[in-house]
A and B are shown apart, each in its own frame.
Chain A
Amino acid sequence: MIEVDSLAAIRSGNRILDAVTLTVAEGTVTTLVGPSGGGKSTLLRCLNGLETFAEGRVTIAGHKLVAGEHLPRALERVRRDVGMVFQGFNLFPHLSAIDNVTLAPRIVRGVPAPEARRRGLGLLERVGLSRFAEARPATLSGGQQQRVAIARSLAMEPRVMLFDEPTSALDPQMSAEVLDVIVELARGGQTMVVVTHDHGFARRAATQVVELVAGRVHRAGPAAEILGGAGH
């Protein structure tokens, strides 16, 4: 589902990603771990074309990305099949929860409003928030906002989901709510790449763990192998 081949990214003259090669099989969960500044976010953003890279190739959900700039058209096609959830949620503050979820399907996919709403309510139900459909993001807790953000991404029915530290801005209890949703998605066979510092989650859900250090793949393998047994 995802093939990354010898990817390198240069920012301000520094190679912040270098010779990154990895494979994510369909229906599996890959967690990206590693020290801060290791390049995890940059790699994730290269996968859906939010950032460009200098060398290498990416194949994701059947789309090919090469080094350098792409036409906006091509990137839009990639992003329709690749969802992304941000550390800071980035919900649209001027729209209610349900409108956040239905906006993209309506205007990007052309789903009729009633149909989009029906599906959107189903997704909010799935993340446990059907009661908050009409609430504005500002009135929701962090955990609730992140779950709306996940529903918003799922509404586009992406083949791959990317998560960039989805729980780092949350306290443990809210983190748990969000992680439960992500684990549930994993069980349902959703292909995912999750950047996280939470080794517990990695052990619980990851098929594969990739450790990025200073822009290179330091280690990669099954969770138990990379992270050791329970606890540190």
Chain B
Amino acid sequence: MTPARQRERGCRPLWLLAAVWLLAAVPVDGLAAELDEVLARGELVWAADQEGGGPHVYVDPEHPTRLIGFEVELAEMLAAELGVKARFQQGQWDRLPLLLGRAADCVINGFESTPERARDWHCSRPYFAYSLQLVARRDSSLDSLDALAKEGPRGPWRVGVLTGSAAEIEMRRRTDLQVEVVGFDGTVDCLEQVRGRVLDAVLMDDCIASFNADRFGELRGVGRPFAGGTYTILTAPETPRLSAAIDDALGRLITDGRLKALYDRWDLAGRQQMLLLRDAAEVPPARRGSLADLIRGALPLLLRSAGMTILLSVASFPLAILIGLSVAVGRLHGPAWLRPFLAGYVELLRGTPLMLQLYALFFLLPKVGLALPAIVAAILGLAMNYSAYESEIYRAGLKAVPAGQFEAALALGMTKWQSLRHVLVPQAVRIVMPPVTSDFIALFKDTSVCSAITVIELTKRYSVLALSTGRIAELAIVTALLYLAMSWPLSLLSRWFERRLERRSERDPG
């Protein structure tokens, strides 16, 4: 067996791996299901955003591997009523309903009943009543709701809201107020911004304000809770029997007092009064746990998410190279009619944001009947996006192979494709090794964008943990170190390739 033969063998597992992996991954995620399918599956999949924070659904700061919140318990109670287990599905809050009909059976995450939601989804009977609470700094001159009617010392009051929430709708409706409304992805973000004086106030559901009151001791409620409404469980319109079953179960929990017991446990009923009392006098903020405890708790989770980051990178990059190389070969040596299409493919993918491409794959493809599991969409999106860049690199690499090589191969009677496969491409691959390796590092970091389509990788895990524990800086350092620990070997590898190539070109000029 000659060395060339062995090398050819060596390439094959990569192809196989990619193919097998794709095939194996597709059937994993179940699609939306009617009641009988949920029962047969034995699992009620409910969607929420753990980054949205407490008291709804959040990571237990004491045991970061655990998800807690009154909605976690509510989901478990509902599932038990149906005779199945509850399984959590992560998603970004304002896009959670889009998961219905594919990755989740229902959404339980503080979704306020609104006419728009009732039109697009099935809304259950209410399971929680909220009011809106304005929160500001204790030292702020904003001391009543009426004060919003007149401009503050720095012009209009800057008021943060959760994007898509009832608070946002309420604030935008009130044209009589002198406010500038600023949308955020998380309520805890808003509180941080108020504390940091970027915002003057935040309008949020009273239960969230109460829940975070200890952590944000320098903030206080302004005025009484007002407006408000109820939370509802969303289900897909296509699953009426599941919706009815959830409605029934909820009704039983309300009438037999189990829901009240749950809310009492979470202190969601009487806490308002406690806070009114508390806000009348200064109370020192709660003490923090030690850094060692924090890291001990968070590290296993961060490591597991780093595993996801690695999986996304190593599964998508070989695919990107495969597609990129094919596109490059097609553009240089393929039939003339194909070339404009390939050029269009490259320009389209280079000219639009990766985030948009991921959304398209995950949220739009299902509309034409092609529902990909999130992780497959993530890998495919990364692979396609990077294939555009790789194809440009390989195109340059193929052009850099001296013309005499192609002629020598043809003169031996090889076909164009044999010449490409055995002579041109192997040389181009060696030439472009350094830029390709550095692109791998770039892709590795770009995997963080995948959190937008519900894949929890390292950056997402960091932001969930940072918000739930408040240890933003400490966890940032740990996360950055993890990223470095993974990308550093890649940098070394890329530099090694470069050195090897330089040495070869010194020996072999031209």
A-to-B contact residues, CB < 8 Å:
48, 50, 72, 75-77, 79-80, 82-84, 86, 88, 90-96, 98-99, 102-104, 107-108, 113, 117, 134, 137-139, 149, 152-153, 156
Contacts and interface: CB of A to CB of B under 8 A. Distances in A.
A72 B426 contact: no
Contact of A90 (B2, B404, B413, B415): B404
A122 to B, nearest CB: 15
4 closest A-B pairs by beta carbon, nearest first, are A80-B413, A90-B408, A104-B412, A138-B508
A76 B404 contact: no
A137 B408 CA distance: 14
Given A86-B408, A99-B2, A138-B504, A94 B413 contact: no
Given A72-B415, A80-B413, A104-B412, A113 B5 contact: yes
A92 B3 contact: no
A156 B410 CA distance: 12
Given A99-B3, A108-B418, A113-B1, A92 B413 contact: no
B101 to A, nearest CB: 51
Nearest to B507: A138
B427 A93 contact: yes
Q: How large is the interface on B (under 10, 10 to 19, 20 to 34, 35 or more residues)?
A: 20 to 34
Residue from B409, B411, B418, B508 with most neighbouring chain A CB atoms (10 Å):
B411
B65 interface: no
A29 B5 CA distance: 37
A69 to B, nearest CB: 14
A106 to B, nearest CB: 8
Interface string B71-96: 00000000000000000000000000
Contacts of B117: none
Nearest to B505: A138
A83 B413 CA distance: 9
B77 to A, nearest CB: 65
Contacts of A94: 426-427, 430
Nearest to A116: B2
Interface secondary structure of A, over-half rule: helix
Contacts of B405: 90, 92
13 contacts: A83-B411, A84-B411, A90-B402, A91-B408, A92-B427, A94-B426, A99-B3, A99-B4, A104-B413, A107-B414, A107-B418, A108-B413, A153-B412
Contacts of A99: 2-4
A94 B397 CA distance: 14
B508 A92 contact: no
Contacts of B426: 94
B422 interface: yes
Contact of B415 (A76, A82, A103, A138): A76
Nearest to B415: A76
A79 B412 contact: yes
A72 B419 CA distance: 13
Contacts of B474: none
Nearest to A45: B407
A82 B412 CA distance: 8
A86 B412 contact: no
A90 to B, nearest CB: 4
Given A104-B412, A108-B414, A153-B411, 9 more contacts: A50-B410, A84-B408, A86-B407, A88-B404, A94-B427, A103-B4, A107-B422, A108-B412, A156-B412
A76 to B, nearest CB: 6
Contacts of A82: 411
Contacts of B414: 76, 104, 107-108
Contacts of B411: 48, 50, 79, 82-84, 86, 153
B80 to A, nearest CB: 64
A84 B410 CA distance: 10
B423 interface: yes
B416 interface: yes
Contacts of A153: 411-412
A113 B2 contact: yes
Given A79-B412, A86-B404, A96 B3 contact: yes
Contacts of B2: 98-99, 102, 113, 117
Interface string B494-510: 00000000001001100
Interface in B116-147: none
B404 A72 contact: no
Contacts of A152: 412
Contacts of A103: 4, 412, 422-423
A99 B2 CA distance: 7
A92 B408 contact: yes
Contacts of A138: 504, 507-508
A54 B405 CA distance: 26
Nearest to B402: A90
Nearest to B403: A90
Contacts of A104: 409, 412-414
Contacts of A96: 3-4
A80 B416 CA distance: 14
A26 B417 CA distance: 32
A211 B407 CA distance: 25
B407 A90 contact: yes
Given A94-B430, A99-B2, A117-B2, A79 B413 contact: yes
A156 to B, nearest CB: 6
Interface string B466-510: 000000000000000000000000000000000000001001100
Nearest to A133: B2
Nearest to B404: A90
Contacts of B1: 113
